[in-house]
């Protein structure tokens, strides 16, 4: 095997970065055997930090109403094929209760940008969850809001916020979103969230239309700039009722390689093996973990609504009860020598 790769990865491990050309080279020229070596380095770093423990987050998709019209997303407002739903406070609490019984200690409330969920309503929901489950962490994933809104939700008890930046390149962003959506504002939101003391997750899709290798290299630099506590990445998957219906899906190999590089650069970062990865390959979650991921986010949403939260086609685990899902995941983890833990799983990345 090429010693240059070993040297580059050793540098990456030591300094947390490489030159653009070097990243470009790794993303384009590495062969199977070299990728395997990178993967092993990444996994061994993750093992040093987290051992064989995998953190679980219970995902509650509480609304598929969205005012945005992202070209890639199945729940974009122009998609009239979607039957829209939102969960009320009791239904959300019911998901939490079920999740709690199954050992989840983080709940992720994710939804489209739904103006029904005002600060008043969200604050009430957050406070209620915190009263019922004081030892659990709450992660919000509600998209872009105003700084004051983020502040109120934080004060109500939210601990973390996931807001993928989607792409680090503003020009590329403009090809994935309508003109009224702004890359600058999204980035600003990430900085506000950090300032307000949230544990922050950003992230991007791999293989979105028009993405270049240089864009992916930019991603790695962007992550250095933001230094998030969590990085959510997954392959782009096309959805039949979006403008990107004819576009091809992101690559499994590229997604896994990026997971490994991110682990090597950000040793303690929380890195989920996403549902999109599991959708792309039936062993996607296992492969993600073996490439350096340490978080899984199974679905706790009521089965009756799950199909309506379709961001991309073919999404897995649509019919499994939370309990079934939990067992299936544990078996998958065991098959590769890992296990889940009943913990909040806070980030050790310094804020």
Chain residues that interact with ligand SAH, rule: CB under 6 A: 72-73, 110, 112-113, 141, 143, 163-164, 166, 205, 234, 236-237, 239, 276, 311-312
Residue nearest ligand SAH by beta-carbon distance: 143
Question: What six digits make up the tokens of 264?
Answer: 């090597």
Q: Which is nearer to ligand SAH, 72 or 133 (CB)?
A: 72
Around Cβ 196, how many Cβ atoms within 10 Å? 17
Q: How far is the CB of 226 from ligand SAH (least distance, A)?
A: 15
Q: Which is nearer to ligand SAH, 103 or 314 (CB)?
A: 314
CB 14 within 8 A of CB 266: no
Question: What six digits make up the tokens of 1?
Answer: 């095997």
Q: Which is nearer to ligand SAH, 4 or 121 (CB)?
A: 121
Q: Which is nearer to ligand SAH, 8 or 237 (CB)?
A: 237
CB 164 within 8 A of CB 139: no
Q: How far is the CB of 128 from ligand SAH (least distance, A)?
A: 21
CA distance 123 to 89: 11
Q: How far is the CB of 279 from ligand SAH (least distance, A)?
A: 8
CA distance 66 to 88: 16
Q: How far is the CB of 150 from ligand SAH (least distance, A)?
A: 13
CA distance 201 to 210: 24
Q: How far is the CB of 173 from ligand SAH (least distance, A)?
A: 12
Angle, in degrees to the nearest 10, between helices 3-15 and 32-50: 30
Q: Which is nearer to ligand SAH, 263 or 315 (CB)?
A: 315
Q: Which one, of 7, 9, 2, 42, lies nearest residue 267 by Cα?
A: 42
CA distance 182 to 73: 16
CB 270 within 8 A of CB 229: yes
User: 33-70: buried (b, 16+ CB within 10 Å) or exposed (e) per residue?
Assistant: ebbebbbebbbebbeeebeebbbbbbbbbbbbbbebbb
Q: How far is the CB of 146 from ligand SAH (least distance, A)?
A: 14
Q: Which is nearer to ligand SAH, 30 or 169 (CB)?
A: 169
Q: How far is the CB of 242 from ligand SAH (least distance, A)?
A: 7
Site of tokens 């050790």: 348
Q: Which is nearer to ligand SAH, 8 or 138 (CB)?
A: 138
Q: Which is nearer to ligand SAH, 150 or 312 (CB)?
A: 312
CA distance 168 to 265: 17
106: phi then psi, degrees, rounded to nearest 5? -135, 135
């Amino acid at each position: 095997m090429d010693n240059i790769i070993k040297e580059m990865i050793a540098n990456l491990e030591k300094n947390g970065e490489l030159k653009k050309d070097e990243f470009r080279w790794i993303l384009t020229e590495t062969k199977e055997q070299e990728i395997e070596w990178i993967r092993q380095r990444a996994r061994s770093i993750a093992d040093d930090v987290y051992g064989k423990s995998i953190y679980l987050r219970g995902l509650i998709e509480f609304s598929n109403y969205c005012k945005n019209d992202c070209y890639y997303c199945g729940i974009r407002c122009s998609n009239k094929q979607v039957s829209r739903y939102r969960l009320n406070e009791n239904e959300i609490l019911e998901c939490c209760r079920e999740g709690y019984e199954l050992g989840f200690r983080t709940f992720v409330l994710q939804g489209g940008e739904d103006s029904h969920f005002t600060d008043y309503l969200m604050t009430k929901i957050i406070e209620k969850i915190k009263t019922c489950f004081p030892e659990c962490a709450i992660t919000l994933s509600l998209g872009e809001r105003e700084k004051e809104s983020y502040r109120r939700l934080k004060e109500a008890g939210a601990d973390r916020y996931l807001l993928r930046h989607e792409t680090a390149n503003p020009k590329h962003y403009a090809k994935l979103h309508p003109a009224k959506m702004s890359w600058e504002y999204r980035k600003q939101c990430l900085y506000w969230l950090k300032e307000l003391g949230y544990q922050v997750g950003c992230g991007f899709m791999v293989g979105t239309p028009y993405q270049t290798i240089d864009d992916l290299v930019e991603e790695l630099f962007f992550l250095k700039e933001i230094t998030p506590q969590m990085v959510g990445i997954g392959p782009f998957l096309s959805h039949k009722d979006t403008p990107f219906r004819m576009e091809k899906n992101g690559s499994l190999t590229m997604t896994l390689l990026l997971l490994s590089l991110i682990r090597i650069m950000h040793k303690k970062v929380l890195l989920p093996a996403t549902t999109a990865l599991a959708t792309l390959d039936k062993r996607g979650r296992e492969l993600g973990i073996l490439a350096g991921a340490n978080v899984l986010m199974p679905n706790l949403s009521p089965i009756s609504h799950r199909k309506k939260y379709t961001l991309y086609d073919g999404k897995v685990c649509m019919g499994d009860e939370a309990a079934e899902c939990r067992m299936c995941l544990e078996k998958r983890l065991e098959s590769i020598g890992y296990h889940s833990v009943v913990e909040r799983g806070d980030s050790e990345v310094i804020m």
